[in-house]
Amino acid sequence: MASLYDRADIYDLLETEKRYQITKRHWETVLAGKPVKTLLDVSIGSGNLTLPLAELGVELYGSDLSGEMLKRCGEKAEKKGFSVDLRTSDFRRLDENFDTAFDCVASTGNSLPYVPNGEVLDVLAQMDRLVRPGGYLYVDIRNWDKIRETKQRFYLYNPTFLDDGVRMNLVQVWDRHEDGSMTFNLLYTFERENKIFQKESFEEHYFPLGRRVLLDGLEQLGYKEIEMMCLPAFQEAVKPEEADWYCVLARKQEAST
Ligand SMILES: C[S@@+](CC[C@H](N)C(=O)[O-])C[C@H]1O[C@@H](n2cnc3c(N)ncnc32)[C@H](O)[C@@H]1O
């Protein structure tokens, strides 16, 4: 079964100007008062959760496993007149591709659960190596604790209306495996005049990543100031523990003298 990340064009069909503005406001909220001038996103994909930062004056760097997603990110950045340094890299091997420190190192788009829980601390350590003393490590993620508790199986998106009167629907069906991992089955349907004329399906395999594993990992790496917020962060009515998505921002200790 194809990976969605080989079809960056389809992945991006959910992205709208409204979502771009929401993401921009999210980052304004998260980074308010924080001296973040440079940021590396180690799972930047096609840049949906990161490119708005360029408009906020942040110097952007991005890496990802998927060349197709990076290509699309580069094209979108160019269209908007943003300069982004993009490199192909597995986030388990960042040391092979980066050797400078950033004000913030991020993994956006629920990407850490692509690796088994046992490897997550190594990924955080790889990210931490690139955070300057006093800088920040940021992760956003689905609320896997909630997914486990509710045993939710279907995740539905509102229809998206594309050009030429085409309506797109996306349904996700989540399968649970005995080893605790999950497969997300994604079905996109495209319809015109009440007839489905195209279907695209993809499978994504995840290792559910509970809050405790993430927060304990950060604490083991010496992070003490750790904030949890909803995604988007300006949603005050919901607690991060109850939201479908949340993010974690952790400040690295200043170097001891
Ligand atoms: C859901 S997408 C998120 C992309 C982007 N951050 C966004 O929010 O639109 C997940 C991304 O993680 C990337 N990814 C998965 N495993 C990875 C790994 N081991 N190293 C680096 N990137 C990885 C995929 O290629 C994909 O672009």
Each residue's pLDDT tens digit, 75-110: 999 999 999 999 999 999 999 999 999 999 999 999
C-alpha of residue 43 to centroid of ligand 1, in Å: 4
Residue of 3, 24, 26, 111 to mutate, ligand 1, most atoms within 8 A of C-beta? 111
- d(CA 183, CA 114) in angstroms, rounded, equals 11
- d(CA 251, CA 171) in angstroms, rounded, equals 37
**Atom 23, ligand 1: residue with shortest CA distance:** 65
So what's the pLDDT on residue 236?
A: 75
Which residues surround ligand 1 with Cβ inside 6 Å? 5, 43-46, 48-49, 64-66, 69, 90-92, 108-111, 114-115
C-alpha of residue 211 to centroid of ligand 1, in Å: 19
Cis bond before residue 232 (omega within 30° of 0): yes
So what's the pLDDT on residue 185?
A: 97
Q: Given the DSSP bridges, would you call strands 59-64 and 131-142 parallel, antiparallel or unpaired?
A: unpaired
The model's pTM:
0.96
C-alpha of residue 111 to centroid of ligand 1, in Å: 5
Whole-number percent of the chain with pLDDT over 90: 95
**Atom 18, ligand 1: residue with shortest CA distance:** 90
So what's the pLDDT on residue 3?
A: 87
Residue of 26, 43, 90, 123 to mutate, ligand 1, most atoms within 8 A of C-beta? 43
DSSP string for 29-55? HHTTT----EEEETT-TTSTTTTHHHH
Q: CA 228, 233, 237, 239: dihedral to nearest 10 degrees?
A: -20
Rounded mean pLDDT of the chain?
96
Apex 88 CA angle, 83 and 90, nearest 5 = 130
Residue 10 pLDDT class (50, 70, 90 cuts) = very high
Q: Residue 102 has which token pair?
A: 């950033």
C-alpha of residue 164 to centroid of ligand 1, in Å: 30
Tokens 């991020």 belong to residue: 106
Please check whether residue 137 is in contact with residue 124, taking contact to mean a CB–CB distance below 8 angstroms.
yes
pLDDT (tens digit per residue) in 133-155? 999 999 999 999 999 999 999 99
Domains, the chain, in order of start with CATH, read: 4-144+209-251 (3.40.50.150), 147-206 (2.20.25)
pLDDT (tens digit per residue) in 169-210? 999 999 999 999 999 999 999 999 999 999 999 999 999 999
Residue 255 pLDDT class (50, 70, 90 cuts) = confident
